[in-house]
Amino acid sequence: MIKSVKAEIVENKPIAPEFFRMTLKAETLASEGLPGQFVMVKVSPNLEPFLRRPISLHQINREEATVSLLYQVVGKGTRLMSETQKGKVIELLGPLGKGFTWSDSDRVVALVGGGCGTAPLVALAHSLLEDKKEVHVLLGAQTKEKLVCEEDFISMGAKVKVATDDGSYGHHGFVTDLLKNLIHDVALDMVYSCGPLPMTKEVVKLTQEASIPCQISLEERMGCGIGACIGCVCKVRTKDGAFTYKKVCKDGPVFKGEEVMFDD
Amino acid sequence: MPNLCVNIAGIKMKNPFTVGSGTFGNDGEFEKFFPIELLGALTPKTIRSYEWPGNPPPRLAEAAAGLLSSVGIPSKSWERFVKEDVPVLKKIPIPVIQSVIGRTEEEYVEIVKKCSDLGVFAGIELNLSCPNLKQGGLSFGSDPQASESLIKKVRKQTKLPLIAKLPPDYSNIVNVAKAVESAGADAIAMINAPRAMAIDYKTRKPVLGNKVGALSGPAIKPIAVYLVWEVYKAVSIPIIGMGGIVDFRDVIEFMSAGARAVAFGTINFIDTQAIPRALKDLENYLIENNIDDVNEIVGCAHC
Ligand SMILES: Cc1cc2nc3c(=O)[nH]c(=O)nc-3n(C[C@H](O)[C@H](O)[C@H](O)COP(=O)(O)OP(=O)(O)OC[C@H]3O[C@@H](n4cnc5c(N)ncnc54)[C@H](O)[C@@H]3O)c2cc1C
Ligand SMILES: Cc1cc2nc3c(=O)[nH]c(=O)nc-3n(C[C@H](O)[C@H](O)[C@H](O)COP(=O)(O)O)c2cc1C
């Protein structure tokens, strides 16, 4: 159930330029949180900045009753998070939204992550591997330095490939180039994607061409995170060919690739 | 225990707290956080007499001490509202004030009649921030004549208390308040969020999908308090005050300016415990200050 929780920061440290990992003691989030779900983080003790910030569950550790968040410092909210010391207590609302889903019949799956979109895929890979699936992970980053979580995926037993924009590591080019090749080489039952919008659109296109089902995690600016403000909507196709707006925070953030309508 | 009950045009509220329409979800979002019967009255999101998708995203942007939004009042069809929402609203054990909107007088008349005929609501709030399609897009609530004419027409449709919710966008809110009072409105809710916008300095284009939105949250509170202060002097019908309320201090401020009830709006998005906390704090404040009845502070800043 969605709860407002006060969680102690067990660890909060940089793991790459601009990227931080924050681990929190949070029993309900650890026991109830699912891959693809997120929390709304109160980044300061007062009302400045005004809104809470949505951050995905990155690691869910039931045994230790902790969850981790992996975040990129892009503005004042994430900067404040990065400056919050270990031992401090932080307020969160969660677990929120509908996460990724999988079925027993899926055997071979691919996870495509770009930038901070890699964060929720770590928890997802963990669950999928526990469920004995063959997990391929394709990671995109601007540079080798800004690549995150490669070792986490490898140590779990996933098969990892990397693309960098500048060619400093792995494939020189887009992570979706890697997906194209993987689709060609391996029979995939499902593709999961989280990353910048252009990447997401390309993943949807490639999987549709190959008739592979796909799940995408979307980002919109959020007000409340619980569906009350109707601020974070995306266009979803209806049966009659028209569209309806759905709430990214409550109906998503994970949607089926084919149901979302992208403008342009 | 001090008395917290207030009466808004016959709507008996066990405390002065309601919520700003559109800021409390419409699907039981907040019941996980506190029992809804803690409120004196519930004001659900504005509905239309027809289905409406709302505005294109992005619908939100952050502002200093506030939120810029352009949700655009999405609405389900009347049939779905009756089937899906009314059974839930019926069970709510506190007065429910349904907020409605229209683009023309006829649409307001239709939705007021339909809502009144359901026999479920304790009152009807007219959201007067909608552009009047027949008047070149000026909102009903910005024009004393348009407001008066509209209230007279909807007045004939219902015996329920009618609350006119006023936008603050034009400098004649006092005249509009007088006009709706003389036309038969039973109470005034104010303020709706003032029109506002943001432009991305990088692209030099509007941030919101609808280009123009409205500002809410603490940023607008001093304006809202001032306008309640002015309208209180001009009318004798009760005022439901809102605009940037976050805690019991703000409640006391609005009531001292002249509001008999108050609405918590945007703060609900950020702090799900704001309402229960403020209620407890208000009670303690009254006890500490030897005030037996919360009604005593209504308008007390004027004396
Ligand atoms: C469901 C969900 C899960 C997320 N999970 C993660 C995560 O695990 N790790 C992570 O690093 N980030 C994640 N994000 C993104 C994160 O919420 C934003 O980066 C953060 O809110 C930025 O806050 P800020 O105060 O640092 O930046 P701000 O100062 O608010 O903004 C910095 C810049 O980013 C833009 N911006 C901010 N938020 C968004 C947005 N949602 N969409 C588009 N542009 C935006 C602003 O317009 C501005 O240009 C997630 C977002 C969503 C919706
Ligand atoms: C996201 C959002 C949606 C709103 N929707 C409505 C609405 O449907 N009808 C209405 O009368 N007011 C609506 N409002 C205005 C609020 O009810 C309130 O009048 C205004 O936000 C000022 O109060 P606040 O600063 O406490 O939020 C909305 C405000 C926000 C922020």
pLDDT tens digits along A31-57: 999 999 999 999 999 999 999 999 999
Q: What is the dihedral of CA B267, A222, B189, B83, to 10 degrees?
A: -120
Distances (CA, A) of A170 to A175, A222, B61: 10, 34, 37
- Does position A264 have pLDDT exceeding 80, yes or no? no
* Residue A189, pLDDT score: 97
The CATH code of domain A108-219 reads 3.40.50.80
With a CB cutoff of 8 Å and minimum separation 6, the contacts of B297 are B252, B255, B256, B291
If you take atom 6 of ligand 2, which residue's CA is the nearest one? B22
Ligand 2 center to residue A212 CA distance, Å? Answer: 43
The pTM score is 0.95
Domain with CATH 2.10.240.10 in chain A: 220-264
For the cut 90, the answer to whether the pLDDT of residue B303 exceeds it is: no
Nearest chain B residue to A250 by CA distance is B29
Q: What is the mean pLDDT of residues B45-74?
A: 95
Size of interface A-B (CB pairs under 8 A): 87
Kindly list the residues from chain A whose CB atom is less than 8 angstroms away from the CB atom of residue B71. Answer: 229-231
- Where exactly does CATH 2.40.30.10 map onto chain A? 3-96
A220-264, CATH topology level: Dihydroorotate dehydrogenase B (pyrk subunit); domain 3 (2.10.240)
Q: Which residue's CA is the nearest one to ligand 1's atom 50?
A: A55
Quick check: A58 pLDDT over 70? yes
**Domains, chain B, ranges and CATH?**
6-302 (3.20.20.70)
HSE of B241, CA atoms in CB hemisphere, 13 A: 31
Q: For residue B21, how far is its CA from the centre of ligand 2 (angstroms)? A: 6
**Mean pLDDT, rounded, for B111-130:** 96
Q: Is B268 exposed, middle or buried (0-12, 13-18, 19+ CB in 10 A)?
A: buried
Query: Does residue B130 carry a catalytic annotation?
Result: yes
Give the C-alpha separation, A175 to A184, whole Å.
15
pLDDT digits 0-9 by tens, A180-205: 999 999 999 999 999 999 999 999 99
| pLDDT surpassing 90 at residue B30 | no
pLDDT in tens, A62-103: 999 999 999 999 999 999 999 999 999 999 999 999 999 999
Residues B260-299 have pLDDT tens digits of 999 999 999 999 999 999 999 999 999 999 999 999 999 9
- SS3 percent helix, strand, coil of chain A, rounded to 5, is 25, 35, 40
CATH class of the domain defined by A3-96: mainly beta
Measured between CB atoms, which of B23, B30, B59 is closest to A233?
Answer: B59
Question: How much is the pLDDT for B10?
Answer: 96
- Using CA atoms, how far apart are residues A264 and A250, in angstroms rounded to an integer? 25
List pLDDT tens digits, range B126-169.
Answer: 999 987 777 667 788 889 999 999 999 999 999 999 999 999 98
Task: Compute the mean pLDDT over every residue in chain B, rounded to the nearest whole number.
Answer: 95
Which single residue is written with the structure tokens 């348009």? B146
Nearest-atom index, ligand 2, CA of B46 = 8
Q: What is the mean pLDDT of residues A214-229?
A: 96
